[in-house]
Structure 1
Amino acid sequence: MTGNFVATAATTIDAPASRVWGVITDPEAVKEFMFGADLVTDWTVGGPIAWRGEWEGKPYEDKGYILEVEPGQKLVHTHFSPLGGDEDKPENYHTLTWTLEDQEGGATKLTLSQDNNATEEAAEHSQGMWDMLVADVKKIAERG
């Protein structure tokens, strides 16, 4: 599947970076914006991260590894979903990069990018999904 197309979603959230960070790392909030999946990780660089849930009546487990953690600023992890139909091998993993940037008035710009999309169409599909996800993060963070 190896490709170099990147999907990027971004939004400005009317909340400080600390609040946005709390949302993207809290298992209860993640369950809300990540399609009901249970998040399992200890946020240790090099350690595993998993999202367990059910899709169309079938249990699944997406997984990856934590690559970088800068609280309130940046989170980088790999991601593999068996739902995509690809073989579970390193070249089929995406890298997801969450970047938080302070904005005027206490707001935060959240950008989520996913690399290693095989085609431009695959990147567009992923971007549509991530656009919905960052919009949900925004709703959760802004409601306090």
Structure 2
Amino acid sequence: MDGYVARAERDVAAPAEEIWGLLTAEASRVYFGAQVESDWQVGSPVVWRGEWEGKPFEDRGRVVEADPPSRLVITHYSPLSGEEDRPENYHRMEYLLSEAGGGTHVVLEQDGNPTQDAADHAAANWQKMLDGLAEIAEQG
């Protein structure tokens, strides 16, 4: 992974298949209210649309790897970053799901952060997302 890496992780009392479904087919339930569009096949686009801190956004990326229900790698670019839409301005996000005590341990790493502060900020946001994912999954 390049640049500073943001990392969030969470144990969830639900099977990996359910977590995988929330990260893909039901992604709009867990990505901060954004509408998420993709077929989640390798090479396919991913589009996130919504509002963040009062600003509308349309982020984009691609599915790089998909190994259900254990590993998902996508790229992510946000115009709200102020950076140009160029490959070097895309983050690489890797989700790892593993069995943990009858549930699932979820790890999310996002590379390409320009500073440690940016990585820490991203990690805090992703931790909130994983906490919300756990709440949804555990409510059944």
The reply to whether TM is greater than 0.5 is yes
Corresponding position: 1:107 with 2:103: yes
Q: Deviations over 1:43-91 (max 9, x none)?
A: 1111100101123444311100100001110110000011111111100
Deviation, 1:34, is 1.2
Instruction: Report what 1:34 is aligned to.
Output: 31
Which consecutive unaligned segments of at least 5 residues does structure 1 have?
Answer: none
Q: Distance in 2 between matches of 1:56 and 1:4?
A: 25
| Corresponding residue of 1:139 | 135
Tell me which of 63, 87, 105 is aligned to 1:90. Answer: 87
In structure 2, distance between residues paired with 1:95 and 1:139? 25
| Higher mean C-alpha deviation, range 49-58 or range 132-141 | 49-58
Structure 1: distance between partners of 2:90 and 2:127: 20
Q: How many residue pairs were aligned?
A: 139
Counterparts of 1:45 and 1:32 in 2: how far apart (Å)? 22
- Report the aligned-residue RMSD: 1.2
Aligned-pair distance for 1:32?
2.9
Letter in 1 for 2:7: T
- Any unmatched runs of 5+ in structure 2? none
Give the whole-Å Cα distance in 2 for the aligned partners of 1:123 and 1:33: 20
Q: Which residue is equivalent to 2:71?
A: 74
- Hey, what does 1:12 align to over in structure 2? 11
Q: Give me the whole-angstrom Cα distance separating, in 2, the residues matched to 1:6 and 1:121.
A: 10
Residues 1:120 and 2:119 aligned together: no
1:45 is aligned, of 38, 42, 46, to 42
SS in 1 for 2:136: helix
Supply the distance in 2 between the matched residues of 1:58 and 1:5 (Cα, whole angstroms): 26
- Once the two structures are superposed, residues 19-50 of structure 1 have per-residue CA deviations (whole angstroms, 9 ceiling, x without a partner) of 111111123xx223212111111111111001
The alignment-based identity, stated in percent, is 45
CA 1:9–1:73: 2 relative to 1, 3 Å: same
TM-score normalised by length of structure 2: 0.94
SS of equivalent to 1:19: helix
TM-score (norm 1): 0.91
> Matched residues in 2 for 1:67 and 1:94: separation?
12
